């Protein structure tokens, strides 16, 4: 059929075409704001302003071993900048819009450069600040593309001189640390623009895993352990694989603070029937090579192996820093390395300085604005997260507390469950991928202390934040009306009862077994973070887009499509506590699992196929 057009129609089409051609650039331009210069005076040290909230709670006088030498080197100190009040309000509004399917801005993620143009420092200000730091003798290591921070290194004398503080050595729990002994200060000209300084201390956050060398074999004892094939069966991932959703084209950044042995990852993948797919390794520029740290190596291996286990064809980027996993996080977000970040490190809220918390809040907001999803463990010490920082502690005494970064509203906090495998949930033999799970296995709240007599405080982290208020999206059946950010958001298997097998430090010599026939078995909410990151990689692939903060979507899906989750309704993260200590009632501290959301297991675990199917039907642009 032939169509003919009139002159009017041609003119109309031309006008429409021209209109459409110029509309998009206009929108982009209107979104960009030329940030004003805020450093309006010369940066001089004569008059300074103290930056409050930088004294680490573990850097006590009792632990103080005196001032470090002037030549003591400090790497990767980061000066983070504070948006103006208007910028902060604008950022909060933008984050809402970016995650609202009804908004025109839905998922119009910013690049770091676009973030800089709206919320960062001006180029002129950055030049002045970098110039001042150089003048103090510091070596500039990294200027964030978002112009939200600058990273530099120098010796103690330079730090003490520039920031009017003293760097001391401390011994805490037998470990030597350094930290600023007094609050730092910055020149008055920077007082209104500096949010804080990171890495003036090297108190490391801890990996959230539990491990054991299982001195037995499953075919003798009947014990079961998880390999990727089992997890894919239990959480209904295989159906997603069958539709080609396997992480292809996606990337996950895993935060670390140790070198790794690629051979561990390769062996794990080969034993699990996963395709060869080595992670890429990025050492944060300016960081010394951290070498291999045994605890951190286990964490890194389990993160890399299990993120890749769930999303076998995703690219895994391992980000490594001698200055800790938070430095890796800063770099990964600053460079926009991947749309999904897994960090399995954390500590309780009160073990952070307020400056560190402000920095994390700012940085994770930037991550969400760039479309980055961050998964973090909710902790392994039940409702008594701070007590969990003390190895071997048997009774909680410090009161209820939750884990950072999981308690940040911009991060998805992953709690723990135990697979209740009493019944016919395992096949009698392993399949070609070493798996034997035959179906979903019911779950209860993770509590190895009470259920299996595990030494110490070992249960899924959960509770309410004492720092962060209730996000608007955290609503639904069972969500407490406590005006606080509640964690966890979801839970995944974490118990050593059916722990995860990994290969680490050359442990897999005879299959998954070491030369002494032992298996390296891992539990903890540390595993949940990379597993969840893998699930989000599948989601990103299915939707062909990054998701940013997935928490709003999780709560919507839980209400609208309950079969996207396995609601965990039995068990509790109770732990024994000292009578009279905060939150201790009748000898226990913690919460029970209930129908709907609860502070022991959050929304429950995930039926991945149903979850992936539900997301686009519920959270599509409108």
Partner 1 sequence: MISKRIFLFVSAFIFFAATVNPSLAEESTVLFGAKGGVPIVDPFVLTNDSAIANNYTFETKRFLGGPFFQLNLPFHIGFEADALYRRLHYESNPFLFNTLHASTDASSWEFPLMVRRALPIPYLHPYGGIGVSLAHVNGKTDFSNAVLQSTEPVELAKTWNTGGLVAVGIDLRHGRFHYQPEIRYTRWATQTFVSGNGLFNSNLNSIDFLIGVAFGK
Contact 503, 267 (CB under 8 A): yes
Pick 314 or 575: Cβ nearer partner 1:
575
CA–CA separation, 418 and 496 (whole Å): 8
Q: How many chain residues touch partner 1 (CB under 8 A)?
A: 27
Pick 126 or 569: Cβ nearer partner 1:
569
Question: Cα 26 from chain centroid?
Answer: 36
Piece of the chain touching partner 1 by CB under 8 A; list 82-90, 100-108, 148-156, 416-424: 416-424
Task: State which of residues 134, 595, 617, 621 lies at the interface with partner 1 (CB under 8 A).
Answer: 595
Pick 543 or 588: Cβ nearer partner 1:
588
Q: Is 17 in the site for partner 1 (CB under 8 A)?
A: no
Binding string to partner 1 for residues 563 to 592, with x set by CB under 8 A, is what? ------xxxx-x-x--------xxxx---x
CA–CA separation, 515 and 499 (whole Å): 20
Piece of the chain touching partner 1 by CB under 8 A; list 15-23, 31-39, 82-90, 451-459: 451-459
For the CB of residue 449, give the shortest distance to partner 1 in the complex, in Å.
8
CA–CA separation, 87 and 33 (whole Å): 10
Q: Is 383 in the site for partner 1 (CB under 8 A)?
A: no
Specify the pairing of strand 280-283 against strand 315-320: parallel
Task: State which of residues 12, 17, 216, 452 lies at the interface with partner 1 (CB under 8 A).
Answer: 452
Q: Is 610 in the site for partner 1 (CB under 8 A)?
A: no
Contact 398, 577 (CB under 8 A): no
CA–CA separation, 408 and 485 (whole Å): 8
User: Which residues sit opposite 256 in a β-bridge?
Assistant: 320
By C-alpha distance, which of 50, 526, 67 is closest to 297? 526
Q: Is 619 in the site for partner 1 (CB under 8 A)?
A: no
Edge-to-edge order in the sheet of strand 64-67: 64-67, 167-172, 175-180
Q: Is 445 in the site for partner 1 (CB under 8 A)?
A: yes
Q: Is 442 in the site for partner 1 (CB under 8 A)?
A: yes
CA–CA separation, 586 and 435 (whole Å): 42
Contact 146, 368 (CB under 8 A): no
Piece of the chain touching partner 1 by CB under 8 A; list 97-105, 161-169, 235-243, 441-449: 441-449
Pick 395 or 505: Cβ nearer partner 1:
395
Specify the pairing of strand 210-214 against strand 519-523: antiparallel
Q: Is 481 in the site for partner 1 (CB under 8 A)?
A: no
Q: Is 418 in the site for partner 1 (CB under 8 A)?
A: yes
For the CB of residue 561, give the shortest distance to partner 1 in the complex, in Å.
15
Pick 237 or 593: Cβ nearer partner 1:
593
Pick 282 or 417: Cβ nearer partner 1:
417
Piece of the chain touching partner 1 by CB under 8 A; list 109-117, 256-264, 273-281, 448-456: 448-456
For the CB of residue 371, give the shortest distance to partner 1 in the complex, in Å.
35
For the CB of residue 116, give the shortest distance to partner 1 in the complex, in Å.
48
Q: Which residue matches tokens 């910028």? A: 87
By C-alpha distance, which of 282, 287, 313, 271 is closest to 513? 271
Piece of the chain touching partner 1 by CB under 8 A; list 107-115, 147-155, 291-299, 437-445: 437-445
Q: Is 69 in the site for partner 1 (CB under 8 A)?
A: no
Task: State which of residues 178, 420, 425, 555 lies at the interface with partner 1 (CB under 8 A).
Answer: 420
- Tokens representing residue 162 in the block: 């520039």
Contact 138, 154 (CB under 8 A): yes
Pick 40 or 585: Cβ nearer partner 1:
585
Q: Is 450 in the site for partner 1 (CB under 8 A)?
A: yes
Q: Is the peptide bond before 488 cis (omega within 30 degrees of 0)?
A: yes
Pick 320 or 594: Cβ nearer partner 1:
594
Work out the angle at residue 539's Cα, subtended by the Cα atoms of residues 263 and 235, and round it to the nearest 5 degrees: 70
Specify the pairing of strand 373-377 against strand 340-342: parallel
Pick 589 or 619: Cβ nearer partner 1:
589
Q: What are phi and psi of 368, to 5 degrees?
A: -60, -40
Q: What is the DSSP letter of 303?
A: H
Piece of the chain touching partner 1 by CB under 8 A; list 57-65, 207-215, 415-423, 536-544: 415-423
Q: What is the DSSP letter of 286?
A: T
Element housing 183 (H / E)? none
Pick 339 or 524: Cβ nearer partner 1:
524
Continuous H helices in 435-584:
448-452, 525-543, 551-560
Burial label, 234 (beta-carbon count in 10 A; 0-12, 13-18, 19+): buried
Pick 11 or 452: Cβ nearer partner 1:
452
For the CB of residue 389, give the shortest distance to partner 1 in the complex, in Å.
21
Interface contacts to partner 1, rule CB under 8 A: 418, 420, 422, 442, 444-445, 447, 449-453, 569-572, 574, 576, 585-588, 592-595, 598
């Amino acid at each position: 059929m032939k169509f003919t057009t009139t002159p009017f129609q041609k003119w109309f089409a031309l006008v429409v075409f021209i209109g459409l051609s110029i509309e998009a650039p206009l929108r982009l331009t209107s979104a960009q704001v030329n940030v004003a210069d805020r450093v309006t005076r010369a940066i001089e040290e004569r008059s300074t302003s103290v930056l409050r909230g930088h004294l680490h709670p573990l850097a006590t006088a009792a632990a103080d071993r005196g001032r470090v030498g002037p030549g003591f080197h400090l790497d990767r100190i980061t000066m983070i900048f504070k948006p103006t009040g208007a910028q902060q309000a604008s950022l909060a509004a933008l984050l809402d819009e970016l995650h609202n399917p009804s908004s025109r801005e839905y998922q119009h993620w910013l690049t770091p450069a676009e973030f800089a143009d709206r919320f960062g420092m001006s180029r002129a200000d950055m030049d002045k600040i970098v110039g001042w730091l150089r003048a103090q003798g510091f070596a500039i290591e990294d200027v964030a593309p978002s112009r939200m921070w600058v990273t530099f290194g120098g010796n103690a004398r330079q730090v003490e001189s520039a920031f009017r503080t003293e760097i001391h050595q401390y011994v805490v729990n037998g470990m030597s640390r350094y930290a600023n002994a007094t609050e730092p200060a910055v020149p008055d000209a920077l007082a209104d623009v500096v949010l804080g300084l990171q890495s003036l201390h090297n108190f490391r956050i801890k990996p959230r895993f539990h491990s054991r060398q299982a001195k037995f074999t499953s075919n003798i004892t009947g014990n079961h352990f998880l390999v990727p094939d089992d997890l894919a069966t239990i959480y209904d991932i295989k159906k997603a694989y069958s539709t080609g959703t396997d992480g292809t084209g996606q990337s996950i950044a895993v935060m670390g603070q140790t070198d790794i042995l690629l051979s561990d990852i390769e062996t794990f993948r080969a034993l699990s029937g996963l395709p060869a797919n080595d992670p890429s390794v990025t050492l944060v520029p300016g960081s010394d090579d951290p070498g291999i740290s045994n605890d951190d190596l286990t964490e890194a291996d389990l993160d890399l192996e299990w993120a890749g286990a769930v999303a076998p064809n995703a690219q895994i980027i391992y980000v490594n820093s001698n200055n800790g996993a938070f430095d890796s996080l800063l770099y990964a977000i600053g460079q926009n390395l991947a749309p999904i970040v897994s960090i399995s490190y954390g500590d309780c809220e009160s073990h952070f300085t307020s400056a560190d918390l402000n920095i994390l809040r700012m940085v994770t907001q930037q991550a969400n604005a760039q479309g980055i999803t961050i998964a973090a463990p909710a902790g392994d010490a039940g409702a008594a997260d701070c007590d969990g920082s003390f190895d071997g502690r048997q009774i909680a005494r410090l009161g209820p507390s939750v884990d950072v970064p999981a308690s940040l509203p911009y991060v998805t906090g992953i709690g723990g469950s135990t697979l209740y495998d009493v019944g016919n949930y395992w096949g009698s033999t392993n399949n070609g991928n070493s798996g034997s799970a035959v179906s979903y296995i019911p779950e209860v709240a993770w509590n190895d202390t009470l259920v299996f007599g595990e030494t110490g405080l070992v249960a899924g982290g959960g509770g309410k934040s004492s720092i962060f208020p209730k996000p608007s999206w955290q609503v639904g059946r069972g969500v407490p009306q406590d005006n606080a950010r509640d964690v966890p958001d979801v839970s995944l298997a974490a118990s050593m009862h059916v722990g995860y097998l990994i290969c680490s430090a050359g442990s897999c010599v005879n299959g998954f077994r070491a030369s002494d026939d032992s298996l390296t078995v891992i539990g903890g909410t540390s595993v949940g973070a990379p597993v969840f990151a893998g699930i989000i990689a599948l989601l990103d692939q299915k939707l062909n887009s990054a998701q940013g903060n997935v928490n709003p979507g999780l709560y919507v899906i839980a209400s609208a499509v309950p079969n996207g989750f396995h609601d965990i309704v039995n068990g509790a993260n109770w732990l024994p506590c000292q009578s009279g200590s905060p939150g201790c009632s009748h000898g226990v501290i913690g919460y029970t699992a209930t129908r709907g959301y609860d502070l022991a297991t959050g929304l429950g675990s995930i039926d991945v196929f149903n979850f992936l199917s539900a997301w686009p039907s519920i959270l599509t642009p409108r």
